[in-house]
Amino acid sequence: MITSERQAAAPAAEQGASYSGYLLRDQQIAAPTSHEIMRTGPRTPMGEYMRRYWQPVCLSQELTDVPKAIRIMHEDLVAFRDREGNVGVLHRKCAHRGASLEFGIVQQRGIRCCYHGWQFDVDGKVLETPAEPADSRLKDTVCQGAYPAFERDGLVFAYMGPLDQKPAFPVFDGYVMPKGTRLVPFSNVFDCNWLQVFENLIDHYHTALLHNNMTVAGVDAKLAKGASLMGGFGEMPVVDWHQTHGNNGMIFTAGRRLSDESVWIRISEMAFPNWCQNAAIVAAAPQRHSGPAMSRWQVPVDDEHSIAFGWRHFNDEVDPEHNGREQDCGVDKIDFLIGQTRHRSYDEKQRVPGDYEAITSQGAQALHSLEHPGRSDVGVYMCRALLRDAVAGKTPPDPARVKAAASRGETLPRYCSDTRLNIRRHADHEKDREIIRKAAHQVFAAMRECDELPLAQRKPHIMRRLDEIEANV
């Protein structure tokens, strides 16, 4: 009887009937989710896919005179910098008797276990076994689990995949351009699965809603301002999504009108499995054309926790008024927008919710089967579909581009950008939005043309093409 009543009532609930909590209760308790792209442990498809790429594991400033215990990709590890300046990322338990190397002693070369003094180099080779006879062959037959690691601009990276498949580290234009760019490292801890944080980037509509005065009435004006993106972000954008680099990434093009005479085109970019770039954060299209303001990797800790590691980009192009605050970037902190980290009271989170609250409140692992997506969610669902294809082996990986650029000593072009175009408003609102959409596609096409150009020609090419786009509106 109960089953038949539920079956009879279910269609009504699905059609939006009032007070359907009882009918939908079981879905809330246990519903299938996207395990194939959310689960990242060893030997899972997504976990093995991610391990084919360099992943940040901590900030350089966390490597002091004592080791740093870390948990990354479901593995308990220890990171350290020996006194010769070499970085090691090793399995945390000593290969001898399992004592934790977080209590190890950093050496001139490598690290020494505190329990019986075994000394390991950064590659895991045993250097000394003090309690063993001089003729012991343990040094030749035992090794400590270790991963290749290096430091760049304040981040520590490790490669956790098969050694014979270790790729070159991709260096993008925005890491070194414009001249004088400073990359300031940061991390943000999230108490949820990596995917719901990662896909938030491609969900650009939320910037016009969550980040624009979505606060309790009467809240402190300073807090409300700190939770909002100003200068055009409140305008509902014209958004399209595009696959890139043989389905190894994607972007969105978002067009907004800034005035009767000008249009703002914003492009943010993803490269799979878990890298992304955002354009200007503190101001909308501050220049004619500017690059990324943030690069970020969303790295799983386990299936219910993840860490965003990245760089804030500081330069006069992306932030000409110097509104960014380098001193507010670091370990579990970032300098833009209230609500990016977990370090607030519950009362403040309720009154001034931000990205952290919206993302983690979906649950430790979001239940995709409970969603009711609309047209604004096309980008999120495209992201998930592309990731599924990648982990299923349907997408050929794209290492040749990275390797070729590295062999030439060149950086890789990026699409992430803000562009300001002089385009007069059309009297018809819908026609005006189509003009903006077309201009956004043309900007992306111009940036994609840079894939075949050497570094010195990329920015001049873009500037010429922007003039052409304006002239042909």
User: With 0-12 CB in 10 A as exposed, 13-18 as middle and 19+ as buried, what is 105?
Assistant: middle
What are phi and psi for residue 406, nearest 5 degrees? -65, -40
- Report pLDDT digits (tens) over 157-173: 999 999 999 999 999 99
Residues 208 and 157 in one domain: no
**Is residue 349 domain-resident?**
yes
Last residue of a domain, one of 165, 190, 209: 165
CA-to-CA dists, residue 66 to 61, 63, 98, 346, 394, angstroms: 12, 7, 18, 34, 44
Query: In whole angstroms, what is the distance from residue 78 CA to residue 71 CA?
Result: 8
**Is residue 16 domain-resident?**
no
Residues 217 and 332 in one domain: yes
pLDDT tier at 63, thresholds 50, 70, 90: very high
Query: In whole angstroms, what is the distance from residue 428 CA to residue 278 CA?
Result: 31
H or E element in which residue 470 lies: helix 455-471
For 78, the token pair is 């220890």
- Report pLDDT digits (tens) over 319-358: 888 889 999 999 999 997 777 888 888 988 888 888 889 8
Residues 123 and 190 in one domain: no
Query: In whole angstroms, what is the distance from residue 392 CA to residue 32 CA?
Result: 19
The residue range of the domain holding 118 is 54-165
Contact (CB, 8 A) for 309 and 276: no
Query: How many domains are there within the chain?
Result: 2
Residues 441 and 293 in one domain: yes
Q: Strands 54-59 and 155-159: what pairing?
A: antiparallel
| pLDDT the model gives residue 19 | 78
pLDDT tier at 400, thresholds 50, 70, 90: low
Closest CA to 457 of 471, 470, 447, 469: 447
Residue 4 has pLDDT above 50, yes or no: no
Last residue of a domain, one of 138, 165, 192: 165
- Report pLDDT digits (tens) over 347-360: 888 888 888 898 99
Q: At what angle do helices 429-448 and 455-471 cross, to 10 degrees?
A: 160
| pLDDT the model gives residue 285 | 64
Query: In whole angstroms, what is the distance from residue 186 CA to residue 399 CA?
Result: 27
**Is residue 465 domain-resident?**
yes
Residues 149 and 177 in one domain: no
Residues 106 and 129 in one domain: yes
> What is the CATH number for 157?
2.102.10.10
- Sorted by sequence, the CB contacts under 8 Å of residue 276 that are 6+ apart come out as 198, 201, 268, 269, 270, 295, 296, 297, 298
pLDDT tier at 406, thresholds 50, 70, 90: confident
Residues 223 and 322 in one domain: yes
Residues 258 and 129 in one domain: no
CA-to-CA dists, residue 331 to 41, 72, 282, 385, 461, angstroms: 24, 16, 21, 32, 38
Contact (CB, 8 A) for 89 and 146: yes
What does the radius of gyration of the chain's CA atoms come to, in whole angstroms? 25
Please report, as a single letter, which amino acid is at residue 454: P
Residues 261 and 381 in one domain: yes
- Report pLDDT digits (tens) over 169-196: 999 999 999 999 999 999 999 999 999 9
Residue carrying structure tokens 């308990």: 76
Query: In whole angstroms, what is the distance from residue 267 CA to residue 93 CA?
Result: 44
